[in-house]
Structure 1
Amino acid sequence: MEYPTTFGGWVAFLLEMYGPQFVQGTITTLELALIGTILGCLLGFIVGIIQSLHVDRHASIVSRVVTKILKAVVAVYVEVFRGTPMMVQAMVIYYGSAQMFGLYFNTFAAGILVLSINTGAYMAESVRGAITGIDPGQLEGAYAIGFTHLQAMVRVIIPQAFRNLIPQIGNTFISAIKDTSVLNVISVTELYFIGRGITGTYYRFFETFFIISMIYLFLTFVTSRLLKLLERKLDGSKSYDLVVDDADTAQEVA
C-alpha cells in the first residue's frame, strides 16, 4: 500500500480511513459539552442562590445554623473546583473514587460528572453576581406582596438573572467543547482521544491534529454565531414607535 507524500494527501487519506471515528468523536464531544453545561448550569444556579441567601436575624436558630452551614459548604466547593485543574479533578473522581471508596464509573458518566461539577463552580459565581446585580427593591416588593424568599427567587429574580446570564452560559458551552479534551486522561473517547489513537497507527501527528483542530474551530465558530443570533432575537428590534394616547396629548396641550 502506497502512502501519501504531501500534507494534503495525508489529510485526505486520514479523513477517508478514519472519517467515522472523527464523526463519532465529534458527537461524543458535543454530548459531553451539552449535558455537562446543562447540569453544570443547574448546579450553578442552586449554588448561586445559596450564596446569595441572607442570614435573617429574626429567623429561628435552626434556620440560621442551616443557612450558615450551606453557605460554608458551597463556598468550599466553589473554592476547590475553581482553584484546581480539571485534569486533576478528573483523575481524582475517576481513579480516586475507585481506589478509596470502591466506586467505579463508566468513563462517559465520569466525564459528565467532572464537567458538570467544574462548570457549576464557575457558574455559581456568575449567578451570584447576576442575582446581586438586580435592584434589591424588586425583592423587597416581592416580599411586600406575600412572596417567600423561594417564590421571589423563582418568579422574580431568577428569570431576570437568567436573561443576563445567557451570554455567559453560551461562553461556558464553548469552553466545555474545548475542555472535553482534558477527559482523555480517563479514557473518554472524545475527539482528542480519537486523534491520539490515530497518531499511534501512522505517526502523522501534524495532519491528524490539524483535522482535530479544524473540527474544534468549526464547532466553536458555529456555536458562537448561533449564540449571537439568539442574543439579537432576545434583544428585540432596535427601531420602534412610541404609542401616545391622543386624550393625554390633548390634555397636555390644554
Structure 2
Amino acid sequence: MAASPEVLTAASPPKDRPADPDLPIVRRRRPGQWLATAAALLLLALVASSVVRNPRFQWGVVGDWFTTAAVLRGLTLTLWLTAATMVLGFLLGTVLAVARIWGNLLLRSLSWGYVWLFRSIPPLVQLLLWFNIGALYPRLGLGIPFGPEFVSVRTVDLFGPLLTSVIGLTLLEAAFAAEVVRGGLLSVDQGQLEAAESLGLGRWRVLRRIVLPQAMRSIVPTAGNMLVGLLRSTSIVSVLAVQDLLYSVQLVYNQTYQVIPMLLVATLWYLALTTLLSVGQYYLERHFARGAGRAGLPPTPLQRARAALGALRTRVDAR
C-alpha cells in the first residue's frame, strides 16, 4: 500500500531546518582508541628508555665510526650498486614488458619464461651461480656458431665479485620490473589506445606520449617499494666479498670485536637512505598524479604544517 506524497512530505522533516541552538553538539567518545593510544605511547617510551639508557649499545662508538672513511666507501659502493642495478633492471624489464604485451608469440613466450625463471630462484642462489659460472664455462668466446671464434676470454678474468653482483641483481630486478611495468601499461584505458590509433599515431609515439605518462601513476609506487627493497638486498653481495656498507662494517668489527655498535652504524645508514628514498617517492607520485582528479593535489606535510601554524597565529591574534 503506497502512501500519498502529501503524507510523506508531512512526515519527513525539511532538509533546510536550522539546528536547535539549545541542543549542544557532543563529540562521540572513543575510550578504546584513547586506551590503545596510551598503551602505545607507554610501550614506545619504555623502548626508547631502554635503547638510550642501555650502555651495551655503545652510542659513543657508533658516533665515532658513523662517518669514517671505511664506512663512507662502503656506503658509496652500496649507492652505486643500487642505482646501476635499478636503471639497468628497469630498462631490461621495460623491454620484456613491451614484448610480453605487443610482441609475437615467440617474444611473448621468451618474456614469460624469463620472468618465470628469475623470479623462481632466490637472489643468493643466483649470485652464487654467477660467481661460479667459470665451473660451467671456463672460457667465453664470440664467433660463428659451430665455427671459428673471433674473441675469447677466460671467465675467471671477466666475472669478478662486483660485476657478478651487478649482473645477478640486474637480471633479478628485471624480472620483477617487467611485471611492474606490464601492470602499469595494462592499467591505461584501452579506449585511449584506440583513439590514438585512429588518429594515425605510431606505436612508439603512443607509448611515449600517451601510455607511459598515465602508466607511471601505477608504476611509481611499486617501483619505489622495489627500490627500497633493492637497497636492502644489496647487503647480500657481502657474501662475495664486495665491500659494500655491510661488508665494510663487518671488516671493522672483525678487528675491534664491537659487533653491536658497527651493526648499528649500518642500520642507521640504511634507515637514513630509506627515508630519503621515501620522500623522493612521495614527491614523484605527486608529480605524476597531476590532472588525475578534479580536486587537485592534496597538500604536502610542509604545507599542512604551515597552514596549522597560520591558523594557530590567527587564533592567538584573535584572543
- The TM-score range, normalised by the shorter chain, is 0.7 to 0.9
Q: Distance in 2 between matches of 1:222 and 1:129?
A: 26
Pairing partner for 1:11 from 57, 62, 68: 62
Q: Per the alignment, do residues 12 and 157 of structure 1 end up closer, same or farther by CA in structure 2, a change over 3 Å counting?
A: closer
Note the C-alpha offset of 1:190: 0.7
Q: Which residue of structure 2 aligns with residue 88 of structure 1?
A: 125
Q: Distance in 1 between matches of 2:184 and 2:287?
A: 21
Q: How does 1:238-249 map to 2 (within 5 A)?
A: 238=297
Q: Which residue of structure 2 aligns with residue 52 of structure 1?
A: 101
Query: Deviations along 1:100-125, whole A, 9 cap, x unmatched?
Result: 12323232222222222111111111
Larger radius of gyration: 2
TM-score by length of 1: 0.79
Q: How many residues align?
A: 221
Q: Which residue of structure 2 aligns with residue 247 of structure 1?
A: none
Matched, 1:42 2:87: no
CA RMSD of aligned residues (A): 2.3
Q: How does 1:14-163 map to 2 (within 5 A)?
A: 14-15=65-66, 19-53=68-102, 67-96=104-133, 98-102=134-138, 103=155, 104-163=158-217
Q: Distance in 2 between matches of 1:26 and 1:117?
A: 23
User: Hey, which of these two has a bigger chunk of helix by percent?
Assistant: 1
Contact 1:41 1:169 in 2 (8 A): no
Matched, 1:189 2:238: no
Note the C-alpha offset of 1:201: 0.7
Note the C-alpha offset of 1:178: 0.5
Note the C-alpha offset of 1:188: 1.5
Long gaps (5+) in structure 1: 55-66, 240-254
TM-score by length of 2: 0.64
Contact 2:57 2:260 in 1 (8 A): no
Identity among equivalent pairs (%): 26
Q: Distance in 1 between matches of 2:287 and 2:209?
A: 23
Q: Which residue of structure 2 aligns with residue 205 of structure 1?
A: 259
Long gaps (5+) in structure 2: 1-54, 139-154, 291-295, 299-319
| Larger relative contact order (Cα-Cα within 8 Å, sequence gap ≥ 6) | 1
Query: Deviations along 1:125-178, whole A, 9 cap, x unmatched?
Result: 111111111111122122222234444323322232234312222222111110
> 2:191 is paired with a residue of what secondary structure?
helix
> 1:101 is paired with a residue of what secondary structure?
coil
Pairing partner for 2:289 from 219, 232, 235: 235
